[in-house]
């Protein structure tokens, strides 16, 4: 078994257990649909069962929503027979909102807005009297009516972590035994990230900090997993405790670049003197003390033969049906351009998160009525793509203010197979990048013709900034283009879901 348990751009995990089933959600930022929902029976094998925010009336993201804006840090809880999801949309005019469902696979309700709850990273907890407590980054707290969204009092300040520590955020409140525990992240979501905890007699405190804080951090270490933080606790059916958290896997030389975004990791938790003790967060994961229940292994290939796209497909800010459909041409995905390619916030793009440090991706495109291709996207200013138009294929690179054509070649009219290979690069010296991306064309005989080889560091968070990871997919930059299939192959050809 291996960490991360949910690889790729799946940050800010929040988890709850109902019987023998676990459910987990993550941040989705500027992508639509929003908030992927996962299910597991063992905390190790996770299957995406849907997206909580899959309707435009639930998730408003406009061209003015910046990359790494949008949906921040959901909290998922189960109470009184239903699932509750509270989240911040940092897009202008949105704020905190709450959704409910009886089935976590959906449908989820329309939003209940929380105008009296200010701040990000909201959490929900209910006490024995049924009072609902909403705690946000900062850290502050307010009692709310979760059915109407009304704040029942003015916000009050709580314990905010280690004095002087940067960014106290991601609060989660739990009742464990005789105490209420307040778990937070601090130190910023970069290399200084960590997790601290305090306890008190009531949901509102007063809170006493753990003498061993931070209870988890990898700052100032050479461990392969870094930026560990933004955690949530869950208890197994056997009484054991576990922590889900985000972390990154930097690669290459100095300073190290992570390209997949912040991923979801799992760690065991024990208790000593009334405080949680977090076990090691490493690529090798200790087995939980119950049988493993692997979920179905989804094929990395999609032939677009379903009426609806599979839940792992995401788009930039929206996905209007008139721009993206599988209904127009049977067995093909049709994209109609809006904007001017990947540089434009309005780009028509359908992609999936890169989840492996090494992978191969291919797609067959018919560009007869337009222009489009296969892209690796971090944001509008950081992306590589191989683009086809009638009679020509070219490789493009956008890094900050610079945009260039890396290579091109003529191709016969009609459909063409575009390819991308991502190769993990072992460090050779302090300047070695994290990986290499090779883009080209697959010939009719299966041979791969390389048109461009690019350094992966420029599609990393350390270069681009922000909170997301790479997303690989298809786009239209002019007219109408059709895609026959899309194939994502991890190293072991899907034999190991978490192979790196």
Neighbours of 167 (CB within 10 A): 19
Task: Please give the Cα distance from 49 to 354 (Å, whole number).
Answer: 18
Task: Please give the Cα distance from 395 to 191 (Å, whole number).
Answer: 34
Q: Which of 12, 54, 232, 379 is catalytic?
A: 12
Task: Please give the Cα distance from 68 to 463 (Å, whole number).
Answer: 14
Find, among 217, 246, 220, the residue nearest to 231 by Cα: 246
Q: Which of 123, 169, 302, 435 is catalytic?
A: 169
- 425 CB-near residues (< 8 Å, 6+ apart): 251, 252, 432, 433, 434, 435, 436, 456
Task: Please give the Cα distance from 139 to 186 (Å, whole number).
Answer: 11
How far is CA 408 from each of CA 167, 367, 391, 416, 419, rounded to the nearest angstrom?
46, 16, 11, 14, 14
Is residue 12 annotated as part of the catalytic site, yes or no?
A: yes
Is residue 379 annotated as part of the catalytic site, yes or no?
A: no
Find, among 427, 376, 419, 382, the residue nearest to 403 by Cα: 382
> Which residues are tagged catalytic?
12, 169
């Amino acid at each position: 078994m291996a960490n991360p348990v949910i690889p790729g751009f799946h940050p800010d995990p929040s988890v709850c257990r109902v019987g023998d089933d676990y459910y987990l959600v993550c941040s989705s930022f500027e992508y639509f649909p929003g908030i992927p929902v996962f299910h597991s029976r063992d905390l190790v094998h996770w299957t995406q069962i849907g997206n909580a925010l899959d309707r435009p009336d639930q998730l408003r993201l406009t061209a003015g929503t910046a990359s790494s804006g949008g949906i921040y840090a959901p909290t998922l809880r189960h109470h009184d027979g239903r699932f509750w999801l509270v989240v911040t949309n940092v897009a202008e005019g949105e704020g905190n909102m709450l959704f409910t469902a009886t089935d976590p696979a959906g449908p989820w309700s329309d939003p209940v807005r929380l105008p009296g709850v200010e701040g990000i990273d909201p959490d929900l907890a209910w006490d024995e009297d049924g009072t609902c407590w909403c705690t946000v980054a900062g850290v502050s707290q307010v009692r709310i009516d979760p059915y109407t969204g009304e704040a029942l009092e003015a916000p009050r300040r709580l314990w905010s972590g280690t004095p002087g520590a940067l960014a106290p955020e991601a609060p989660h409140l739990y009742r464990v035994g005789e105490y209420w525990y307040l778990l937070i992240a601090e130190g910023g979501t970069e290399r200084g990230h960590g997790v601290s905890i305090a306890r008190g007699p009531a949901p509102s405190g007063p809170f006493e900090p753990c003498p061993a804080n931070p209870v988890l951090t990898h700052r100032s270490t050479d461990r392969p997993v870094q930026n560990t933080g933004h955690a949530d606790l869950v208890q197994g059916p056997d009484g054991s405790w576990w922590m889900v958290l985000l972390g990154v896997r930097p690669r290459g030389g100095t300073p190290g670049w992570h390209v997949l975004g912040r991923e979801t990791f799992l760690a065991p938790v024990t208790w000593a003197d009334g405080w949680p003790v977090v076990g090691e967060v490493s690529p090798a994961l200790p087995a939980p003390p119950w049988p493993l229940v692997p979920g179905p292994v989804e094929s990395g290939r999609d032939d677009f033969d379903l009426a609806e796209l599979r839940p792992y497909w995401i788009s930039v800010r929206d996905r209007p049906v008139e721009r993206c459909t599988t209904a127009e041409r049977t067995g093909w995905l049709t994209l109609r351009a809006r904007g001017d390619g990947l540089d434009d916030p309005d780009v028509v793009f359908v992609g999936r998160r890169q989840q492996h440090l090494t992978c191969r991706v291919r797609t067959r495109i018919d560009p007869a009525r337009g222009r489009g291709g296969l892209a690796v996207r971090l944001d509008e200013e950081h992306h590589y793509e191989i683009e086809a138009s009638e009679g020509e294929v070219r490789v493009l690179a956008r890094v900050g203010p610079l945009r260039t054509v890396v290579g091109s070649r003529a191709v016969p009219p009609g459909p063409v197979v575009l390819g991308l290979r991502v190769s993990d690069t072992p460090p050779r010296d302090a300047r070695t990048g994290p990986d290499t991306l090779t883009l080209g064309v697959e010939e009719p005989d299966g041979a791969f013709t390389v048109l461009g080889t690019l350094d992966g560091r420029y599609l990393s968070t350390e270069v681009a900034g922000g909170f997301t990871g790479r997303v690989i997919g298809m786009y239209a930059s002019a007219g109408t283009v059709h895609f026959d299939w899309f194939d994502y192959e991890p190293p072991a050809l899907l034999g190991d879901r978490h192979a790196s």
